[in-house]
């Protein structure tokens, strides 16, 4: 099974990188929508971290991985 995750990368007040991961993003990924969503997250103060509020976008990426279950019985 192929699993996809959309990682949104932000910088917090302290300067650390904060990652928000979303499983099973809608394909194809729309960069304009991702950018707008990240702006909204920052402006709304929707998330905070141990290093403070999210203050800047650092990037976004799609992670793809193959998952193979092992039958144990």
Q: Is the dihedral of CA 44, 36, 56, 28 positive or negative?
A: positive
The pLDDT-based confidence of 53 (bands split at 50, 70, 90) is: very high
pLDDT above 90: residue 73: no
Q: What is the pTM of this model?
A: 0.88
Domain coordinates in residue numbering, the chain = 2-66
Write down the pLDDT at residue 25.
96
> Tell me, what DSSP letter sits at residue 50?
T
pLDDT tens-place string over residues 28-44: 999 999 999 999 999 99
Q: How far apart are CA 22 and CA 30, in angstroms?
A: 14
pLDDT above 90: residue 45: yes
């Amino acid at each position: 099974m192929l699993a996809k995750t959309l990682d949104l990368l932000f910088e917090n007040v302290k300067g650390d990188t904060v990652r928000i991961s979303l499983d099973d993003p809608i394909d194809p990924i729309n960069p304009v929508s991702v950018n707008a969503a990240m702006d909204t997250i920052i402006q709304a103060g929707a998330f905070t971290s141990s290093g403070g509020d999210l203050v800047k976008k650092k990037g976004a990426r799609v992670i793809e991985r193959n998952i193979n279950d092992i039958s144990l019985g």
